[in-house]
Chain A
């Protein structure tokens, strides 16, 4: 709460402002099933990788999101996106 303004606090990918890239600070693998975690790693998700929230589908905020992982655009369900914690670029 009293974090200095210079150090951005990691936020879940699903709550990141759109089109504000950041880098992956931490992935809470325990929130993901084994196949989900594996596929996510195969799609290039890793700590330090640049990610960006692009689009959210669904009226009441329930549909999958589209995000950029490195150079690839990937559609993910919300619960997966909320396990990915991102440090917004300063």
Chain B
């Protein structure tokens, strides 16, 4: 039994546990300025000053050992040794926000009653100083009877002292007290915590002027909602405006790669496979990296400043009208980037029905994987003209698709809350963090991680899908006079699907793209590209060819129906998998697939028939 001692980082939400975890272990867990960034446990390693290794656990923040939501339950289970596959921690580091001492000390007292060896990290002492608050760490140590170390996790201050004190307390043995936890009345603990906080506060001056000033503007009854809407609008506009140039560079790079490979290899199967299949297919998707990064940059900055909770507060009334709470706004906004982290973030929602509803509607938020599909179809088939000065028709259609997803989600929530997820709402009560300037390093790190995920996905899932699709569309070779995209194996499968989707205006190309789109939505673009490549092997590759072919082969009603399908259809295996995990079974993912496909079919059909009737 020489396993490294297990130490858990515990504390109130937004105390800086993940920042401290990253600083101590060199990990890159996500940090942000709102309660509930961390929703599951993460493990890492650190070495004590004497060289002994320690296994460190980062846990979701919680206000007490009496959990209100699934993320908080993880923390309680770990501390009581009830977490599956996890031993009881040998010690804890309680992370306390120095600017919020009276509240955080209450939970510290509750944790002290567990009887585990513990050290208190008095974190964010720099923020406290900025607020004009001077604290006496030694006095706090005397009052609590456990080691207290002042730290600034984001600046790596106080880490050595923390490790040293941790080493000392770990040498003492421990035992979980019988019936530990919840044996103290919360009100009694709170009063004791306030006494201690007062005793250790050396001096205090008027504080938080900045947070008040900013809130007076962004929470203003009139200006607040306008600012929120404007921020959302700027976010979606920038995704297009700023991405154009870097997308051009990537396209250029892909064209060069394609030409180089084509020139270096002899004519034949291998060359066609690499150039027409792999490079064209993966390239068609990789081009969208800049757009995805811009979208993420916006979301990361919003999360880092502390504005996210204000947005949730402003949205609470609207969300309440469809039976949700403002809390659900945070997971839904991250679903614009990707529904998978969005669905995981719902763990902070207390009420089970409330949470389930949010999970079920999260895929309706237009995720970044739909952007490539929307962009290419709109760019090819929606005329480029101005609606109003400065507002183009193409941009408007794109914005409308986003709005449609949101409206669809709200309608779905309303219906679900009155039928399958009927029940009480969990209300809205949230701690509002002080504003902070985003740390450039954290934002860049978040972007880098996202780029890695995207490129990995392009290199694995999408490349594999494209490769299989190319093989299936290339064989068997069509006799002269027959279209390769129809004669091949994939073409014949698509003809089967076409029977089902023909009534809603889908052509053979779309039918062929629907299956690879299940693996990853972006793969639809690659699939359409592949179809045109195998039908016209002499053509140069690239987006231009896809555009020209789309114009030749698709009608406007078909294109509109296709866009509408992508707004609603649950075409993403990862989302279905994460829903299964978060709802513990197949019942809800199956329900989600069913209702979203039904919605997609009806919406695409209605769009197609109306467009045809209007003579578009």
Binding site for B on A (CB under 8 A): 33, 35-36, 38-44, 46, 49, 54-59, 62-64, 66, 70-77, 80
Contact = CB atoms under 8 A, between A and B. Distances in A.
A55 B313 CA distance: 11
Main secondary structure on B side of the interface with A: helix
A38 B186 CA distance: 9
Interface in B384-424: 424
B491 to A, nearest CB: 55
Interface in B316-338: 316-317, 326
Contact of A55 (B186, B215, B424): B215
A63 B103 CA distance: 25
A73 B212 CA distance: 10
Contacts of B215: 54-55, 66
Given A42-B64, A57-B316, A70-B194, 8 more contacts: A42-B63, A54-B212, A54-B215, A55-B219, A59-B222, A63-B313, A63-B317, A73-B432
Nearest to A32: B427
Interface of A is mostly: mixed
Contacts of B29: none
Give the residue among B64, B191, B309, B429 with the most A Cβ atoms within 10 A.
B429
B186 A57 contact: no
Interface stretch (B94-102, B141-149, B291-299, B547-555): B94-102
Q: Name the residue in A33, A56, A77, A80 with the highest tally of chain B Cβ atoms < 10 Å from its Cβ.
A: A77
Contacts of B212: 54
B426 interface: yes
A75 B350 CA distance: 16
B68 A64 contact: no
B221 A58 contact: yes
A39 B191 contact: no
B375 interface: no
Interface in B201-238: 211-212, 215-216, 219-222, 224
B219 A77 contact: no
A71 B68 CA distance: 22
A40 to B, nearest CB: 7
A46 B190 contact: yes
The 8 closest A-B pairs by CB, nearest first: A42-B63, A55-B219, A73-B432, A44-B103, A75-B313, A63-B317, A75-B430, A64-B316
Interface string B425-455: 0111111101000000000000000000000
Interface string B186-201: 1100110010000000
A58 B222 CA distance: 8
Contacts of A70: 102-103, 194
B10 interface: no
Given A44-B103, A71-B101, A63 B429 contact: no
Given A57-B314, A62-B317, A66-B219, A72 B103 contact: yes
B106 A76 contact: no
A73 to B, nearest CB: 4
Contacts of A74: 429-432
B66 interface: yes
B429 A80 contact: yes
A75 B429 contact: yes
A10 to B, nearest CB: 19
A56 B186 CA distance: 29
Contacts of B187: 41, 46
B219 A36 contact: no
Contact of B313 (A33, A38, A57): A57
Given A42-B63, A44-B102, A63 B427 contact: no
Contact of A42 (B186, B191, B432): B186
A82 B326 CA distance: 19
Interface residues of B, number: 41
A77 to B, nearest CB: 5
Contacts of B63: 39, 42-43
A76 B312 CA distance: 11
Contact of B102 (A39, A63, A71, A80): A71
A18 to B, nearest CB: 10
Contacts of B224: 57
Nearest to A71: B100
A35 B427 contact: yes
B429 A40 contact: yes
A45 to B, nearest CB: 9
Contact of A80 (B99, B309, B313, B427): B427
19 contacts: A41-B186, A43-B103, A46-B190, A46-B191, A57-B219, A57-B221, A57-B313, A62-B317, A63-B314, A66-B219, A66-B313, A71-B99, A71-B100, A71-B101, A71-B103, A73-B431, A75-B430, A76-B428, A76-B429
B431 A43 contact: yes
B431 A35 contact: no
Contacts of B426: 35
A3 B63 CA distance: 39
A88 to B, nearest CB: 19
Interface in B94-119: 99-103, 106
Interface in B65-109: 66, 68, 99-103, 106
A81 to B, nearest CB: 10
B102 A55 contact: no
Interface in B164-202: 186-187, 190-191, 194
A75 B219 CA distance: 11
A70 to B, nearest CB: 5
Contacts of A36: 427, 429
Contact of B66 (A38, A57, A64): A38
B122 to A, nearest CB: 14
Given A38-B66, A55-B215, A57-B313, A72 B100 contact: yes
A62 to B, nearest CB: 6
A47 to B, nearest CB: 9
A44 B105 CA distance: 11
A38 B68 CA distance: 9
